Amino acid sequence: MKNTPSNPSSSGTFLKEPQGKPSHPYFSSGPCAKIPGWSLELLKDAAIGRSHRSVHGLNKLSDAVQLTRTILEIPRDHKIALLPGSATGAIENALWNLLGPVPITVFSHDVFSKRWQIDLTNHLKFEDIDVRKSSHGDLPNIQDIPSTNDILLNWNGSTSGVRFPTGDFLEKNRAGLVIADITSAAFTTSIPWEKFDATVFAWQKGLGSESAHGMLVLSPKAVERLNTYQPPWPLPYLFKLRVDDKFYGPLFEEKTLNTPSFLCIEDYLQALKWAQKGGGLSTLIEHSQSNFKIVEQWVECTPWVEFMATDPQTRSTSTIVLKLVDPKILALNEKEHRAFLAKMTGLLAERNIAYDINNHGGAPPSLRLWGGPTIESKDMEKLLPWLDWAYEMSFRGDSNAPRN
């Protein structure tokens, strides 16, 4: 059990600034840190000025899809499309094209899963919907889901730091589809592809690439849904997954619905090649787990902080969300609590220690560290003493402490 936090302001001396600094201050949870050694020189072979319908452009698109399949170990019978609008565009495509013919169970437990739930209830206006809600820090009830229901879930809560530890609760050979947002899980943990039917993610998280495009991965069962079900509502061109009421196969090979950014695609290709050269998915996962363990050990001996995720089995190794548990902080109202965090994270940004680690404004007041594979473990180790320092300086209300 942790000791009760002492009052940092009771001491007459300043906590000295730590000696070492992270070599890169990019701990944001999206967009995330670029791959180690990244520079603009890596983009020199981008197909800029070329048509996405040219052989050269189509080859670039095909390479991006095939390397994605290889690194993420996506089954050969699953189809992969590159879509506009990052993960948001990809999941909206899935929701508006696939849902409707059967009842739906949706898990709502972080900012983004709540957004998808609002889409279903307020915009698509589904009535036969089972909403499973929980607060930030916990998973909703996963029991007693009819196998005929479609399911919508966020596999790794980007703003809660809570993930589904396994897919065991999803029955094999279930009749309903499972639509999964894996944006903060892709390239950081293993994905149970056999349990998912429509899976979406973007490039800006696990591999630190640019965020213009999203990926949609469909199982054979999802393709069958596209071939046999036509939504009763109109669909815009950017949601075009069918042609003549049938699955649009070329989109899931090397074509796109609109003009892509070849700068973004080249950046993604370079990140994929870096991942492949480094050992593939297993190495990426090991790196993310290593970063999480560094933070976990620090949390265990730091009295003023705790994980947002209450169950250790559900703690994300990529989006590491931390809440302040000092009684003096908890006594603040929400506005004061957020102001404290803004000051604390501002101190770190001013000193180029860590950028953008204040959690999403839609989440409870908290810190959010990215622990994915593009974060060097030595940088994570160097960051943590600075969190202690910034916490104390903010608690004192004095940001003018002498610098070393």
The CATH number corresponding to 42-277 among 3.40.50.1820, 3.40.50.11780, 3.40.640.10, 3.30.70.600 equals: 3.40.640.10
Q: Are 193 and 246 in contact (CB under 8 A)?
A: no
Residue pLDDT, tens place only, 55-68:
999 999 999 999 99
pTM of this structure: 0.94
Domain residue extents for the chain: 8-35+280-396, 42-277
Query: Is residue 404 pLDDT above 50, yes or no?
Result: no
Per-residue confidence (pLDDT) for residue 397, from 0 to 100: 59
Crossing angle, helix 377-396 and helix 281-300, to 10 degrees?
30
The H or E element containing residue 106 is: strand 104-108
Q: Quick one: pLDDT at residue 280?
A: 98
Which of 165, 220, 157 minimizes the C-alpha distance to 184? Answer: 157
SS3 call for 366 = coil
Each residue of 65-74: pLDDT tens digit? Answer: 999 999 999 9
403: pLDDT confidence band, cut at 50, 70 and 90?
Answer: very low
The separation between the first and the last C-alpha atoms of the chain, rounded to the nearest angstrom, is 34
CA dist 135 and 160 (Å) reads 9
Give the pLDDT band of residue 11 (cuts 50, 70, 90): very low
160 pLDDT more than 50: yes
Q: How confident is the model at residue 3 (pLDDT cuts 50, 70, 90)?
A: low
Taking 90 as the threshold, does the pLDDT of residue 176 lie above it?
yes
Strand, helix or coil for residue 81? strand
Q: What is the pLDDT of residue 399?
A: 46
User: How does pLDDT run across 281-322, given as a tens digit for each residue?
Assistant: 999 999 999 999 999 999 999 999 999 999 999 999 999 999
Q: What pLDDT score does 400 carry?
A: 47
pLDDT of residue 12: 46
In three-state form (DSSP H/G/I as H, E/B as E, the rest C), the secondary structure along 285-305 is HHHHHHHHHHHHHHHHCCCCE
Q: Could you give the CA distance from residue 89 to residue 201 in angstroms, rounded to a whole number? A: 10
* Mean pLDDT value of segment 152-167: 96
Backbone angles phi, psi at 314, to 5 degrees: -105, 5
Its sign, for the CA torsion 146, 149, 152, 155, is positive
Mean pLDDT of the residues in the chain: 93
* CATH fold of 8-35+280-396: Aspartate Aminotransferase, domain 1 (3.90.1150)
* pLDDT, tens digit, 9 for 90 and up, residues 181-227: 999 999 999 999 999 999 999 999 999 999 889 999 999 999 999 99
- For the purposes of burial, counting CB atoms within 10 Å of the CB of 325, is it exposed (0-12), middle (13-18) or buried (19 or more)? middle
CB atoms within 10 A of CB 85: 18
Nearest to 392 by CA among 331, 307, 302: 302
Residue 14: the pLDDT is: 57
What's the CA gap between 81 and 254, in Å, rounded? Answer: 8
The DSSP H or E segment spanning 64 is: helix 55-72
**Model confidence at 110: pLDDT above 60:** yes
- Torsion sign (Cα): 220, 240, 60, 376: negative
Could you tell me what percent of the chain has a pLDDT over 90?
91
- High-pLDDT (> 70) share of the chain, %: 95
Nearest Cα to Cα of residue 228 among 249, 241, 247, 243: 247
